[in-house]
């Protein structure tokens, strides 16, 4: 089973890396979505190898997709408000500190 978990791990790392380095606000949300999908993939893998008879893992991944959508919606709402005040989507230019 561990060989199968490598891919979600790689996807999750790419997602975290993207969240930490993207300058565009939407890019951060995309990366967040990627990380969440990797976690959902993990659930499916566990379902296939630990409880192959039941479908709990797959149901969980459906919940995750819905939750991710809601969360990204809220994120977009916040960024739209920020864009109204800051006139830019560059997150490095969001703070009002000097330098």
Binding residues for another protein, per CB under 8 A?
Answer: 16, 19-21, 91-92, 94-95, 97
Q: Return the number of the residue (27 or 61) whose C-beta is nearest another protein.
A: 27
How many whole angstroms separate alpha carbon 94 and alpha carbon 33? 22
Minimal distance in Å, beta carbon 95 to another protein? 4
Question: Residues 11, 37: contact at Cβ < 8 Å?
Answer: yes
Q: Return the number of the residue (25 or 40) whose C-beta is nearest another protein.
A: 25
Q: Return the number of the residue (18 or 57) whose C-beta is nearest another protein.
A: 18
- Residue 42's Cβ-count burial label (10 Å; 0-12, 13-18, 19+) is buried
């Amino acid at each position: 089973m561990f060989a199968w978990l490598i891919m979600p791990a790689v996807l999750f790392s790419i997602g975290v890396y993207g969240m930490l380095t993207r300058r565009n606000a939407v890019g951060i949300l995309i990366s967040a979505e990627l990380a969440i999908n990797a976690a959902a993939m993990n659930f499916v893998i566990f379902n296939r190898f630990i409880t192959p008879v039941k479908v709990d893992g797959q149901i969980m991944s459906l919940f995750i997709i819905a939750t991710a959508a809601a969360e990204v919606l809220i994120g977009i709402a916040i960024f739209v408000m920020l864009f109204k005040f800051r006139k830019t989507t560059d997150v490095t230019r969001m703070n009002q500190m000097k330098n």
